[in-house]
Amino acid sequence: MFWEVYALDRQEYLKSLTEQIRTKRARIMVAEEVEAHIEDQKQDFMAHGLGEEEAESMAVVEMGDPVEAGVKLDRVHRPKMEWTVLMAILVISIMGLILQAVVTSSFPTMNMSTLEAFKDNFLYGGIWSAMLIGIAVMLGICYLDYSILVKWSFPIWVVMQIPAVFSIISKIFFDETMWIGPMVNGRSIVQMLLSYLVIPFYAGTIYHFRRKGTKGLIISTVCLGISVLTDLMIPFMSSAVVTGITGLVLLHVAVCKGWFGENKKKFLTRMWGVIGICLLLMSGITFWGNGRFVTDYQVHRLEALITGEHWDYTRGAVADVANAAKDPNSSKWHESQSSGKLEVTDPYNGATEVEAVTLYNYARNDYIWTYLFHYLGNVKGVFLVVVFAVFMALLLRMAVKQKNRLGYMLSIGCVIFLILQSLFYIGVNAGLYPISGNYMPFLSHGNMTMMITYFYMGILLSVYRNSNIVKN
C-alpha cells in the first residue's frame, strides 16, 4: 500500500523533522506536539478498523514530508524580537535624558542651555554609562532563556534574603544595624538593589511550588511575608509596599488559575488567612521595642498618610523653583543666584533655608513631575504622563497575552512592579502620598534605578521573545 512504501518509522520521522528546527530549545516541544498529533491520528485510524501497525504508518504519512513540515515549524517556533517594545524602550530612554536636560537647563542656579545640560547629563554626569550598561544588561537578559528561573528561582530568593536577615540579627542582638556593602542615605546599596529585584524570583518561586497544594500556597505566602518584613525592618517602606502589593496580585492570579488546586474559593480563603496572620506578625515585629525598627521620619510619613497633614515641604519648594525658572527677575531666582540657598517653609520647623543644590537634586529625582508641570505647564505635563501611561499599557498588553504560564507570571509581576513604582511616584508629586523611595522608570536621575529598570525590561523582552519556543 501507499503508506507501506513511503512511510517512515515514527522516531525516524520525528528525527528528520526536528533536524530542520534551528532553535534547540524548541525541538523537544515540537517533537512532543507532533508526536501527540500522530498518536491522535493513529487512534482515529484504529477506531475505523485498522490494525495498530498499519494505523501508525498511515498517521505518520498523513503528517506530510518531514523536511517540509520541519521548515514550516521552524518559522513558527523560533525567537522573535518584539521590535515595537524595544523601539518604545529606546524612545522613552532618550525622552528621559531630554527631560533631565530640561530640568538642568532651566534650574535657576545652573545657567545652562538645554544642549549644554544634555551634554552635561549625558556625557559627564554618568548617565550615559549607566544607560549603555543598562541597555547591554537588558539585551543580555533578553537573549537568555527565562525558563531557567523555574529551577533556580527559589534558591536565588533565599540567597537574596541573607543580607537583610544579617542586618536584622545585628539590630536585635547588638542594637546596631550592620550592613553589607556601601551606604547611600543611610541604606545599603546592596540591600536596596536586592529589594528592588526580588519580584521576578518571587514569581518564579510561586511557579516552582504551583503543584504542592496547600503546602505550596503556604510556602509562597510566607516567602512574600518574609520579603515584605525584611524591607520594613531595614527600613525600606516604599519597597515593602510595592513588593507586597505585587506579590499579592501574583498569588491571587496563581490561585485563580488553579495552580494550587481546583477548589479556588478554598485556596483563596486559606491564602488571605495566612496573609492576615503574616500582617499581624509583621506589625508586631516592626513596631516592637518602642519603635526599634521604625525611624522617626517613617512615623511622620505614616502620620501624614493617615491624617493628610505635614506633607513633605520640599514639594512646594520645588514648585517655587520651577516657577522661578520661568522668570529670571523673580525674588526666588535672585535669592538662589546670590546665596545658593532658598527660604522655604518646613511644617515641622517653620521657615528654613535649603541649599539650592538640594532642591536641584529633588527636582530631578523625587519631584521631577512637579518641576516639569510647573515649568512646562499642565498641558505638556499631562501629555508626558499620557506617553508614559501608553508605554506601560503596551507592556501590560504584551504580558497578559502570554500563553506560557511562567512567562505570564513573570511578565505580569515585572509590569505591575513598574506601574506601582510609577503610580506611587506620581502620587508623591501630586501630594497624594508622602515622599518615599519610589522612582520613576526611565525618568528619575539615578544609576541604580536606571539599571533596575533595564533589568526588568530585559526579563520582559526575554518573555516576549521566547513566547513561541518555551514549553508551557
In eight-state DSSP terms, residue 294 is: S
Cell numbers describing residue 381:
505635563
- Nearest-angstrom CA–CA distance, 77 and 94: 33
* Same-domain status, 71 and 93: no
**Region 101-115 average pLDDT:** 74
- Nearest-angstrom CA–CA distance, 46 and 49: 5
Highest mean pLDDT (candidates 71-75, 103-107, 241-245, 312-316): 241-245
pLDDT at 121 over 70: no
Q: Which residues pair with 314 in a beta bridge?
A: none
pLDDT at 125 over 50: yes
Cell numbers describing residue 124:
559627564
The length of the chain is 472
CB-based contacts of 73, cutoff 8 Å, min separation 6: 17, 20, 21, 30, 34
- Nearest-angstrom CA–CA distance, 57 and 3: 6
Q: Which residue has the higher pLDDT, 3 or 300?
A: 300
Q: Which of 23, 42, 76 is the last residue of a domain?
A: 76
Q: What is the pLDDT of residue 190?
A: 74
Q: What is the pLDDT of residue 5?
A: 36
* Same-domain status, 53 and 186: no
If you write DSSP's letter for every residue of 243-312 in order, what string do you get? HHHHHHHHHHHHHHTTSS-S-HHHHHHHHHHHHHHHHHHHHHHHTHHHHTTS-HHHHHHHHHHHH-----
* Same-domain status, 14 and 141: no
pLDDT at 415 over 90: yes
Question: Is the Cα torsion angle 89, 91, 95, 98 positive or negative in sign?
Answer: positive
* Same-domain status, 141 and 30: no
* Same-domain status, 193 and 232: yes
In a domain, 98, yes or no: yes
pLDDT band at 1 (very low <50, low <70, confident <90, very high): very low
**How much of the chain, in percent, has pLDDT values that exceed 90?**
11
Record the pTM.
Answer: 0.77
pLDDT at 3 over 50: no
Q: What is the pLDDT of residue 377?
A: 87
Q: What is the pLDDT of residues 358-372, one digit of tens each?
A: 777 788 888 889 889
Question: Nearest to residue 82, comparing CAs of 472, 470, 463, 471?
Answer: 463
**How much of the chain, in percent, has pLDDT values that exceed 70?**
71
Cell numbers describing residue 3:
503508506
In a domain, 314, yes or no: no
Mean pLDDT of the chain: 77
- Nearest-angstrom CA–CA distance, 66 and 17: 5
Q: What is the pLDDT of residues 419-468, one digit of tens each?
A: 999 998 988 888 777 777 788 898 887 778 888 999 999 999 988 887 66
In a domain, 357, yes or no: no
If you write DSSP's letter for every residue of 100-125 in order, what string do you get? HHHHHHHSTTT---HHHHHHIIIIIS
Q: What is the pLDDT of residue 299?
A: 61
pLDDT band at 177 (very low <50, low <70, confident <90, very high): low
Question: Nearest to residue 367, comparing CAs of 300, 440, 261?
Answer: 440
CB-based contacts of 94, cutoff 8 Å, min separation 6: none
In eight-state DSSP terms, residue 146 is: G
pLDDT at 390 over 70: yes
pLDDT at 124 over 90: no
* Same-domain status, 91 and 63: no
* Same-domain status, 21 and 94: no
**Region 46-53 average pLDDT:** 78
Q: What is the pLDDT of residue 2?
A: 39
Residues 413, 246: contact at Cβ < 8 Å? Answer: yes
In a domain, 337, yes or no: no
- Nearest-angstrom CA–CA distance, 144 and 138: 10
In a domain, 343, yes or no: no
Q: Which of 49, 76, 103 is the last residue of a domain?
A: 76
* Same-domain status, 39 and 91: no
**Region 342-351 average pLDDT:** 61
Q: What is the pLDDT of residue 465?
A: 81
In a domain, 19, yes or no: yes
pLDDT at 184 over 80: no
Residues 21, 73: contact at Cβ < 8 Å? Answer: yes
Q: Which of 76, 107, 123 is the last residue of a domain?
A: 76
Q: What is the pLDDT of residue 306?
A: 58
* Same-domain status, 51 and 195: no
In a domain, 412, yes or no: yes
Q: What is the pLDDT of residue 278?
A: 64
Highest mean pLDDT (candidates 137-151, 410-424, 427-441): 410-424
Range of the domain at 415: 85-307+373-465
Q: What is the pLDDT of residue 6?
A: 42
* Same-domain status, 49 and 158: no
Lowest-confidence range among 196-200, 224-228, 264-268, 400-404? 264-268
* Same-domain status, 67 and 89: no
pLDDT band at 54 (very low <50, low <70, confident <90, very high): confident
pLDDT at 412 over 90: yes
Q: What is the pLDDT of residue 332?
A: 65
Q: What is the pLDDT of residues 237-286, one digit of tens each?
A: 788 888 988 998 998 888 888 888 777 677 677 767 767 776 666 566 55
Q: How many domains does the chain have?
A: 2
Q: Which residue has the higher pLDDT, 3 or 38?
A: 38
Lowest-confidence range among 11-15, 110-114, 134-138, 347-351? 347-351
Q: What is the pLDDT of residues 66-75, one digit of tens each?
A: 777 777 766 6
* Same-domain status, 72 and 91: no
In a domain, 363, yes or no: no
Lowest-confidence range among 117-126, 139-148, 359-368, 436-445? 117-126
